[in-house]
Amino acid sequence: MTEDERRLLRARARDELRPAVLGVVALGGALGAVARWALVGLFPETASAWAIFGVNLSGGLLMGVLMALVTDLPALPELTRPFLGVGVLGGYTTFSTYVADALDLPGAEALAYLVLTPVAALLAVAVGVRLARAALRR
């Protein structure tokens, strides 16, 4: 990496850590976490692992939609991506809980859950991108 590239990365990092960006990420994270808590609370405790699976799957789909929107609609407000992507969807999804929840599942189900969750979430991102781009073309 050249010195110019290092300077550019440092400048970008400073820009990303502006108070406005930090504020919208914190606010979005709180909103996303509350949404996840409320949604998971609708399910019995015995189904919490699969409720988290649904949260991570829907979060992946929404992240795909957001990715398409921020790349294809450059006129979106500058704080859209940090608020919705890092904040709301970062607080809404939870891959650390998914690993902890797998410990409570029986052997084969735990293995399926551990493999299926990230694969399904990544596929959901791809579906979200395609759906959003198809809608934008109309």
CB atoms within 10 A of CB 28: 22
Residue with tokens 């300077």: 7
pTM as predicted: 0.84
Q: For the chain, list the strands marked E by DSSP.
A: none
CB atoms within 10 A of CB 41: 10
* Residue 29 in marked binding region: no
Question: Could you say which DSSP state residue 45 is in?
Answer: G
In tens, the pLDDT along 58-109 reads 999 999 999 999 999 888 898 999 999 999 999 999 988 888 889 989 999 9
In tens, the pLDDT along 15-25 reads 666 888 899 99
Asked if residue 137 lies in contact with residue 75, where contact means CB atoms within 8 angstroms, the answer is no
Asked if residue 96 lies in contact with residue 33, where contact means CB atoms within 8 angstroms, the answer is no
* Backbone phi, psi, residue 74, to 5°: -65, -10
Q: How far is the C-alpha of 84 from the C-alpha of 66, rounded, in Å? A: 8
Which two structure tokens, joined as six digits, stand for 37?
């808590």
Say if residue 12's pLDDT is above 90: no
